[in-house]
Structure 1
């Protein structure tokens, strides 16, 4: 039983990569989702349903399809990726950055949906009253809207973190399964499952995946309950 918790260097690297990708993905998604969620919650305009459908498309598309589209767009032969590579020498596909991009794309709908719902629950009259008293829109947003919507914002961020942590299909398609560079926890589990006799290593990574996700969700739930009590 002791050997179950004796992690190898490659396993620790996979854990580090997974947590790093999930953190970067959440930090990148949060400010964009905050502005987009507010916009969708407060504005009515033609084509809004189409924009919302496009945002939520990665939720229903097969992750491998999402990864393939990213490869077509941002790969070295893609219409954006080719320009980036030829102009700036930037290669995105099959890199650590590609794993982050894949995680952002697949987790973004979750955080936008959560933030939009939370902002819709905030009484617009409070924002109007703040602006009538002479407070600017930006200050009102950060002093009134964001604090009142904080439980939903935090919940959405944690959901995005957990989704990024478990991302597999888009990552393996767009970033590959390169040990030490793009091999996150789900990819390492998949790789170990293909090799006979590596059941212990597979189980170790499965256990740590469950633990990290559980701790993240538990902390999120505790924070939301604390916010509701206060």
Structure 2
């Protein structure tokens, strides 16, 4: 068993592996993993930033930000999930399983984040035991793939465009679930440029999760800018 799945508190691990769809079908099974997912996402962003800061001492903030986004994006985290053996350990509802949940990148990446959050709590809120584990996983990610993905990250490209206009306020994303069951939600995101406190809508996008919807909104904004001749 992978070290990331070795817990002192087995209840924490079980919660990290439990998707909302499982709890919906088994009400007595306790809490699902969404709060742990939130915590794990924050920890992964910190650890990936630290990892890249040390790995690339000569690269600037913009490139490091793009690489971090690529390193913790859904598809990459789903690969990490499979690498540590989370795929068939996920506790999913029958509907999610029938929809191919064990191979769903969204469910895999979310569960991986939840396990990271749970592992942190299981080690008395100490990030140190996680460092060597995530470093090994980050090292396993293809540098070539990370570089390609970092160059096409739409959210960062749109933020760079906003900054190039002399606006230091980052774009604002408003994202909400609009349709779909718990195991296959549909989110809509709108991205705004905020100038002097006034929000200007630039793009709208849909996705299976908030990250995907926000990326689609940024892509829509970039496409509109290109059409207007404001972006090469």
Pair in the same fold by TM > 0.5: no
Bigger proportion of residues as strand: 2
- Which of 1 and 2 has higher RCO (CA within 8 Å, sep 6+)? 1
Q: With structure 1 as the length reference, what TM-score do the two structures score?
A: 0.29
Higher Rg of the two aligned structures: 1
